[in-house]
């Protein structure tokens, strides 16, 4: 059940509109700040209720504040997303047709890849098959850096992945468009791009890297939760919120 929307909710929402996506710790700090600034009663464990109140008023505009996990550090993030469109027309106000086409191609590469990454080389090569106005190398590089700046993609060592905000916002679209290709994490049941895969050919379950870290923590002999085969991949460490981890 939702409370009345007050100034504290509005300030939270305005911050979300400007920032786009924030991590859970920042969200909690922001919630406290908004309540204190507007002298509203503050209960530390009621962030979800607070956001529900906002969401109930955002729903008629097909907007929501949604939560999702970063595939890099396993932390939870909140993003203000647009639910109205079923495809990526939400980006269409910021990007030209051919830029959107290239983004779709990058999405293809990432979704269909095993490691959830697309190299800049592969993305550049995909411009050959563009049906809208072709993009030069410099244009492609500029577009990619804009997409990173606008928090749709993340880049590391020349490889591009979907940003946390992108995954939160586009999950419904991706599930619809790539039904047969998408990977789902066996542990958290969410869509998975960067993940480890069980090497048993009859099993093949996928687990997010951070979910691997949490599930196998402290286990001396990691075994697949589904088929019990030895889990051969390196078990990452669980990342703490205050540690220096990249999104």
Partner 1 sequence: MTQRKRPSSTQSSSQRRHTGNLVAQDEDDDATFTQPSTSQVQRGLEKLTPAQVDQKTAEVVQYFLVKDQKKMPVRRADLVKHVVKDYRNIYPEILKRAARTFDQVFGLKLVEIDPKNKMYILVNNLETPDKASPVRSPSNPKMGLLLAILSVIFMKGGVVRENLIWNTLRKLRVDPGEKHEEFGDVRKMVTDEFVRQRYLEYVRIPHTEPIEHEFRWGQRADAEVSKVKILEFMGELHEQDPKTWTQQYRQAHSLPNSSQASTSSSSQR
**Contact set with partner 1 (CB under 8 A):** 5, 7, 10-11, 13-15, 17-19, 22, 26, 29-30, 33, 36-37, 54, 57-58, 60-63, 82, 84, 93
Closest CB to partner 1 among residues 35, 107: 35
How many C-beta atoms surround the C-beta of residue 69 within 10 A?
21
| Dist CA 165 CA 132 (whole Å) | 27
Smallest gap from Cβ 30 to partner 1, in A, equals 5
Smallest gap from Cβ 32 to partner 1, in A, equals 8
Smallest gap from Cβ 41 to partner 1, in A, equals 18
The two structure tokens encoding residue 173:
């679209």
Nearest to 10 by CA among 50, 63, 41, 59: 50
How many C-beta atoms surround the C-beta of residue 132 within 10 A?
12
Smallest gap from Cβ 234 to partner 1, in A, equals 34
Closest CB to partner 1 among residues 99, 159: 99
Element of type H or E holding 68? strand 63-69
Smallest gap from Cβ 10 to partner 1, in A, equals 3
Closest CB to partner 1 among residues 54, 109: 54
Closest CB to partner 1 among residues 65, 185: 65
| Dist CA 244 CA 78 (whole Å) | 19
Closest CB to partner 1 among residues 32, 98: 32
- How far apart, in Å, are the Cα atoms of 178 and each of 2, 9, 58, 173, 175? 35, 36, 28, 8, 6
């Amino acid at each position: 059940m939702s409370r009345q929307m007050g100034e504290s909710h509005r300030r939270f929402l305005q911050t979300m509109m400007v920032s786009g996506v924030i991590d859970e710790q920042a969200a909690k700090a922001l919630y406290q700040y908004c309540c204190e600034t507007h002298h509203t009663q503050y209960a530390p464990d009621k962030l979800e209720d607070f956001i529900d109140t906002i969401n109930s008023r955002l729903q008629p505009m097909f907007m929501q504040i949604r939560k999702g996990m970063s595939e890099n550090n396993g932390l939870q993030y909140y993003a203000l997303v647009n639910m109205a469109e079923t495809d990526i027309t939400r980006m269409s106000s910021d990007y030209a047709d051919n830029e959107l086409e290239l983004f779709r191609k990058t999405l293809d590469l990432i979704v269909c890849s095993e490691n959830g990454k697309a190299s800049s080389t592969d993305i550049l090569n995909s411009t050959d098959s563009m049906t809208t106005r072709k993009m030069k190398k410099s244009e492609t590089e500029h577009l990619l850096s804009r997409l990173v700046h606008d928090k749709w993609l993340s880049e590391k060592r020349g490889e591009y992945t979907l940003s946390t905000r992108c995954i939160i916002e586009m999950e419904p679209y991706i599930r619809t468009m790539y039904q047969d290709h998408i990977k789902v994490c066996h542990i958290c049941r969410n869509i998975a791009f960067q993940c480890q895969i069980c090497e048993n050919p009859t099993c093949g379950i996928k687990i997010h890297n951070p979910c691997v870290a949490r599930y196998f923590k402290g286990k001396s002999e990691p075994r697949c939760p589904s088929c019990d085969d030895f889990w051969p991949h390196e078990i990452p460490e669980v990342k703490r919120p205050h540690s220096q981890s990249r999104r």
